[in-house]
């Protein structure tokens, strides 16, 4: 076994560490485990990510409603993140247009990170305090928009400066962080704590903290789209059959909702350019 296990997990040379940087007492022996032992330990610890998201259900619902109202009113939603948080935001936003038939102009990501993350990267360092405010101002972000910042530590300068700037521009702003009492939770109009605690691998917030952030984003965007009228029963309403896979999905959705036979479903979709919403509107099942 390696390392000094007598060091208190909450103490460093500069004072108390935030939970995401503390050592996890359950994983002091991590370096002695075989691969199965590592996996089983991570399985046990990962439950904390689910618990943290569950504890924040009410707050996540509030954010989702704000996002739904914003989108329905023609506003934009901007996600700010650095490193893992930025990549998670990119992944979330990339799936929204094909899933919910959204214009790619509605959801945006502003990210910081040393590794390439696509066109949304606007600075190479998370310590840059000018990049996010400049980009938000250039996009004309204002009172019609929602800006959400994600940072496990809750102290990332790139994210904090963006949330502060968006708040001053009149947007509704929300900070999502994994450490209690961290500044990002109070920099904007609203804060959501995902209290995941210390990681199995000390400081590696791509683990529980990142998992909880991805789960939170799933809930925010999906709930927003449901209450925003983009779901029928438990189906995607705004699917368009632009390829073979999506045409099969469109056929199943219209069949499930209407109970029509396959021939009528196909004919109706073909007559409506494979738009599920248009096909169901003709059937009196969608607005």
How confident is the model at residue 12, as a pLDDT?
Answer: 45
How confident is the model at residue 104, as a pLDDT?
Answer: 93
Asked about 92 being catalytic, the answer comes back as no
State the first-to-last Cα distance of the chain, in angstroms, to the nearest integer: 63
Asked about 126 being catalytic, the answer comes back as yes
Judge whether 173 and 141 are in contact, CB under 8 Å. no
DSSP state string for 59-100: HHHHHHHHHHHHHHTT--EEEEEETHHHHHHHHHHHHHHHHH
What 3-state DSSP class applies to 150? strand
pLDDT in tens, 128-152: 999 999 999 999 999 999 999 999 9
Question: Which of 4-8, 122-126, 211-215 is modeled with the greatest confidence?
Answer: 211-215
How confident is the model at residue 123, as a pLDDT?
Answer: 82
How confident is the model at residue 129, as a pLDDT?
Answer: 96
Catalytic residue among 21, 45, 126, 199: 126
Catalytic residue among 40, 55, 95, 130: 95
Residue 30's Cβ-side half-sphere holds a number of Cα atoms within 13 Å equal to: 17
pLDDT in tens, 34-62: 999 999 999 999 999 999 999 999 999 99
Average pLDDT score over residue span 78-103: 95
How far is CA 59 from its chain centroid?
14
Q: Is the confidence at residue 116, as pLDDT, over 70?
A: no
H, E, C per residue of 177-218: ECCCCCCHHHHCCEEEECCCCCCCCCCCCCCHHHHHHHHHHH
pLDDT in tens, 221-261: 999 999 999 999 999 999 898 899 999 999 999 999 999 99
How confident is the model at residue 4, as a pLDDT?
Answer: 42
Please name the residue that has the structure tokens 């009172």. Answer: 143
How confident is the model at residue 285, as a pLDDT?
Answer: 86
How confident is the model at residue 210, as a pLDDT?
Answer: 98
Q: Is the confidence at residue 275, as pLDDT, over 90?
A: yes
Judge whether 82 and 156 are in contact, CB under 8 Å. yes
How confident is the model at residue 283, as a pLDDT?
Answer: 86
What 3-state DSSP class applies to 105? coil
How confident is the model at residue 5, as a pLDDT?
Answer: 42
How confident is the model at residue 7, as a pLDDT?
Answer: 40
Judge whether 53 and 215 are in contact, CB under 8 Å. yes
What 3-state DSSP class applies to 68? helix
CA distance 270 to 272: 5
Judge whether 196 and 52 are in contact, CB under 8 Å. yes
pLDDT in tens, 150-205: 999 999 999 999 999 999 999 999 999 999 999 999 999 999 999 999 999 999 99
């Amino acid at each position: 076994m390696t390392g000094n296990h007598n060091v208190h997990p909450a103490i460093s040379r500069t004072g108390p560490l935030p939970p995401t940087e503390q050592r996890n007492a359950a994983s002091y022996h991590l370096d002695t485990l075989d691969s199965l032992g590592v996996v089983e330990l991570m399985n046990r610890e990962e439950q904390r990510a689910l618990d943290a998201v569950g504890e924040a259900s009410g707050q996540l619902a509030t954010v989702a409603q704000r996002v739904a109202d914003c989108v329905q009113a023609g506003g934009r939603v901007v996600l700010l993140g650095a490193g893992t948080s930025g990549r998670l935001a990119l992944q979330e936003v990339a799936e929204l247009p094909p899933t919910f038939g959204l214009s790619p102009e509605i959801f945006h990501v502003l990210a910081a990170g040393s590794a390439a993350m696509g066109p949304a990267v606007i600075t190479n360092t998370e310590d840059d305090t000018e990049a996010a405010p400049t980009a938000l101002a250039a996009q004309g972000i204002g009172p019609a928009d929602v800006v959400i910042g994600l940072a496990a530590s809750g102290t990332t300068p790139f994210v904090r400066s963006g949330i502060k700037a968006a708040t001053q521009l009149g947007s509704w702003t929300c900070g999502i962080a994994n450490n209690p009492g961290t500044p990002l939770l109070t920099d904007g109009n609203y804060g959501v704590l995902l209290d995941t605690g210390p990681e199995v691998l000390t400081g590696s917030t791509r683990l529980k903290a990142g998992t909880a952030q991805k789960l939170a984003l799933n809930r925010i965007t999906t709930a927003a789209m449901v209450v925003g009228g983009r779901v029928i029963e438990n189906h995607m309403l705004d699917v368009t059959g632009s390829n073979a896979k999506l045409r099969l999905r469109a056929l199943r959705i219209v069949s499930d909702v209407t109970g029509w036979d396959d021939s009528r479903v196909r004919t109706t979709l073909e007559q409506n350019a494979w738009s599920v919403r248009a096909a169901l509107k003709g059937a009196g099942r969608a607005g």
